[in-house]
Structures are given as structure tokens and as C-alpha cells.
Amino acid sequence: MKIKKGDKVKMTKGKDRGKVGKVIKVFPRENKVIVEGLNLIKKHLKPRREGQKGEIVSLPRKVFVSNVMLICPHCHQATRVGYRLLAKGKKVRICKKCQEEI
């Protein structure tokens, strides 16, 4: 998976199209990510104890990885991700626009 936890991404589809957020959690088997502050749903919570009030909370939901684009930390543009092999055999992610290491 080309997107990792902590990456800054831009939504390309859905109700939050064009908005930017940080990846909180990655689900590689499902090809989904959770982005902070985007793709929010409202959940109604019942009161659990006597005297406690019920409330409505906003929670982020999973979104398909194909609906987000990585924002390059160097050129600050939404870009595709490529890979480059270093001399020591280490594989690093690179920005397809500026060719810098991510």
C-alpha cells in the first residue's frame, strides 16, 4: 500500500472532495484508510448510566485508498507515488511530480 499512517492526503471523491487531512489508521487488507476530520458520520449514543445524557458524536469512517491522493511534503501537490531502489537494496517512496523522496 502506497499510503501510510501519518501521511497528508487529499480527498478526490465524495462529499469531502478537495479537503486535506492526515491519515490516522491504515487497513491494508481492505485497501482502506481513516483520515482525520474527513468522511465523518454522526452516531447517536445512548446514556449508559442513570443521570447521563445521550449524545450525538461525529466519527471518521474508512475510505477507499483509491479516493485519496498523497500530498508531497516537498512540492505540496497531490501526486501519485512511485518507488525507487537505493544502493543498499532499500525501497523508498518517491513523488512522481518532483522525483523527491517522501
Cα–chain-centroid distance for residue 84?
22
Cα–chain-centroid distance for residue 75?
18
Instruction: Give pTM, 2 decimals.
Output: 0.85
- Delineate the domains of the chain, giving CATH numbers in brackets: 1-71 (2.30.30.30), 73-102 (no CATH)
Predicted confidence at residue 99, as pLDDT, reads: 92
Other C-beta atoms closer than 10 Å to the C-beta of 72 total 21
Residue 1 has pLDDT above 90, yes or no: no
- What share of the chain has pLDDT > 90, as a percent? 95
Residue 100 to residues 8, 22, 83, 94, 95: CA-CA distances in angstroms? 16, 20, 11, 5, 6
Residue 79 has pLDDT above 90, yes or no: yes
Q: How far apart are alpha carbons 17 and 11 in whole angstroms? A: 5
